[in-house]
């Protein structure tokens, strides 16, 4: 089990410099990768994001890349193109404004005067960038695994608490059902006092039994226990397997069963246990949001 919250740092060396990558991850339902690269590497932004997408599955991922030293050789000026451009500007000056100055700064607006680094240099930088990001991901995943184990341990304790609460509800259910029947009988008897005879006692008893059965919570407790078993099985899955979506689904089902228990409960003790269940389920929900 892995958390979606983590941080990692990785680097890779080049001949005269170094590429350093930082990666941060926070919980999110789907995978969202954003990369920020220095100006000289900005053209490799999509490449950096794709490297992360190939390794990660969920979370909001932020990658920050910086360089140290001379990663790329400086662009070189194409002097022949610069001379030709300056001559053309001078000829235009002589035609339009003879004697005016032609500042060299005008050449900055002429495209393609500076040749970028060679293809072999770009390939080396791409390889170093990929290696730095992968090392950062390795470090982040180690942190995510450690935090995931801590979250799993916490959730196992809460699952045990929920099992105990379900057992207490079951232990109280029979007594509560009998108490409900007794209250219903007493209420019916009070309503029938002074009423002429002729009502069928068996019919009244049947109505009382029907009302009592409608408050039966056996099915809800059975389903809740089944979901807890599956939840515990998911927590015991191999650490690298993603299980966040499955845990989230099971948690939704458990919340539904707890709500039904609460609506059916006709006993103060059971209602108290159901409230405690909802508190534990909400704490589980907060933890599950961070699981990949």
Instruction: Summarize the confidence of residues 246-274 as an average pLDDT.
Output: 87
Higher pLDDT, 15 or 275: 275
User: Are 21 and 130 in the same domain?
Assistant: yes
Residue 157 and residue 63 share a domain: no
Q: Quote the mean pLDDT of the chain.
A: 83
Q: Which of 97, 127, 146 is the last residue of a domain?
A: 146
- d(CA 240, CA 2) in angstroms, rounded, equals 7
Q: Are residues 155 and 138 in the same domain?
A: no
Q: What is the pLDDT of residue 211?
A: 60
Question: Do 181 and 233 share a domain, yes or no?
Answer: yes
Same domain, 245 and 279: yes
- Judge if 67 and 99 occupy the same domain: no
Position 168 in a domain: yes
Q: How far apart (Å, rounded) are the C-alpha atoms in residues 18 and 15?
A: 8
Domain containing 283 equals 150-288
Task: With a cut of 90, say whether residue 10 has pLDDT above it.
Answer: yes
CA-to-CA distance for 213 and 181, rounded, in angstroms? Answer: 9
The answer as to whether 214 is a domain residue is yes
pTM summary value: 0.68
Domain boundary among 126, 146, 166: 146
Same domain, 159 and 275: yes
With a cut of 80, say whether residue 187 has pLDDT above it: no
**Residue 40 burial by CB count (10 A; 0-12/13-18/19+): exposed, middle or buried?**
middle
Kindly report, residue by residue over 73-101, the tens digit of the pLDDT: 666 677 788 888 888 888 888 888 888 88
Q: Is residue 166's pLDDT more than 80?
A: yes
Do 242 and 154 share a structural domain?
yes
Asked whether residue 115 carries a pLDDT value surpassing 90, the answer given is no
pLDDT digits (tens, 9 = 90+) for 35-45: 999 988 888 99
Decide which of 96, 114, 132 is a domain's last residue. 114
Residue 130 pLDDT greater than 80, yes or no:
yes
Of the two residues 274 and 212, the one the predictor is more confident about is 274
pLDDT of 16 reads: 80
pLDDT at 215 over 80: no
Q: Tell me, yes or no, whether 181 lies in a domain.
A: yes
Q: Is residue 173, in this structure, part of any structural domain at all?
A: yes
> Count of domains in the chain?
3
50-61 b/e (C-beta count within 10 Å ≥ 16 → b): ebbeeebebbbb
Q: pLDDT category, 107, cuts 50, 70, 90? A: confident
pLDDT for the residue numbered 237:
74
Average pLDDT, stretch 188-206? 61
Question: With pLDDT > 70 as the criterion, what percentage of the chain qualifies?
Answer: 80
Regarding whether 254 and 222 lie in a shared domain, the answer is yes
Domain CATH number, residue 18: 3.30.230
Give the residue-averaged pLDDT of 280-290: 91
C-alpha–C-alpha distance, residues 47 and 268, integer Å = 61
- Between 18-27, 68-77, 133-142, the lowest mean confidence (pLDDT) is in 68-77
> Band of the pLDDT at 50, cuts 50, 70, 90?
very high
Same domain as 96, residue 42: no
Residues 40 and 131 reside in one and the same domain:
yes
- Label residue 52 by pLDDT band (50, 70, 90): very high
User: Is residue 37 included in any domain, yes or no?
Assistant: yes
Contact 12, 132 (CB under 8 A): yes
Give yes or no for a contact between 116 and 42, defined as CB atoms under 8 angstroms apart: no
Same domain? For 103 and 171 the reply is: no
Label residue 155 by pLDDT band (50, 70, 90): very high
Decide if 1 is inside a domain: no
Mean pLDDT of 191-210: 60
């Amino acid at each position: 089990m892995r958390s979606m919250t983590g941080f990692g740092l990785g680097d890779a060396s080049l001949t005269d410099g170094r590429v350093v990558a930082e990666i941060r991850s926070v919980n999110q339902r789907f995978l969202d990768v954003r990369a920020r690269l220095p100006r000289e590497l900005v053209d490799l932004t999509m490449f950096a994001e794709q490297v992360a997408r190939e390794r990660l599955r969920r979370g909001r991922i932020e990658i920050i890349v910086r360089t140290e030293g001379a990663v790329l050789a400086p662009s070189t000026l194409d002097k022949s193109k610069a001379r030709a451009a300056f001559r053309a500007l001078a000829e235009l000056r002589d035609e339009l404004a003879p004697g005016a100055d032609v500042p060299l700064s005008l050449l900055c607006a002429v495209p393609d005067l500076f040749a970028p680094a060679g293809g072999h240099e770009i390939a080396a930088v791409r390889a170093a960038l990929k290696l730095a990001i992968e090392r950062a991901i390795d470090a982040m995943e180690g942190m995510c695994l450690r935090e995931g184990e801590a979250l799993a341990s916490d959730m196992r304790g809460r699952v045990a608490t929920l099992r105990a609460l379900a057992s207490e509800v079951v232990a109280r259910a029979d007594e509560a059902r009998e108490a409900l029947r007794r209250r219903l009988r007493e209420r019916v008897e009070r309503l029938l006092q002074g009423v002429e005879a002729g009502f069928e006692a068996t019919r009244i008893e049947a109505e009382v039994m029907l009302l009592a059965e409608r408050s039966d919570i056996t099915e809800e407790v059975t389903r809740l226990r089944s979901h807890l078993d599956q939840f515990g099985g998911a927590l015991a899955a191999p650490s690298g397997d993603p299980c966040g979506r499955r845990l989230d689904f099971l948690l939704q089902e458990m919340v539904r069963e707890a709500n039904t228990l609460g609506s059916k409960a006709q006993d103060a003790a059971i209602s108290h246990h159901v409230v405690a269940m909802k508190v534990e389920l909400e704490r589980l929900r907060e933890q599950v949001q961070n699981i990949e």
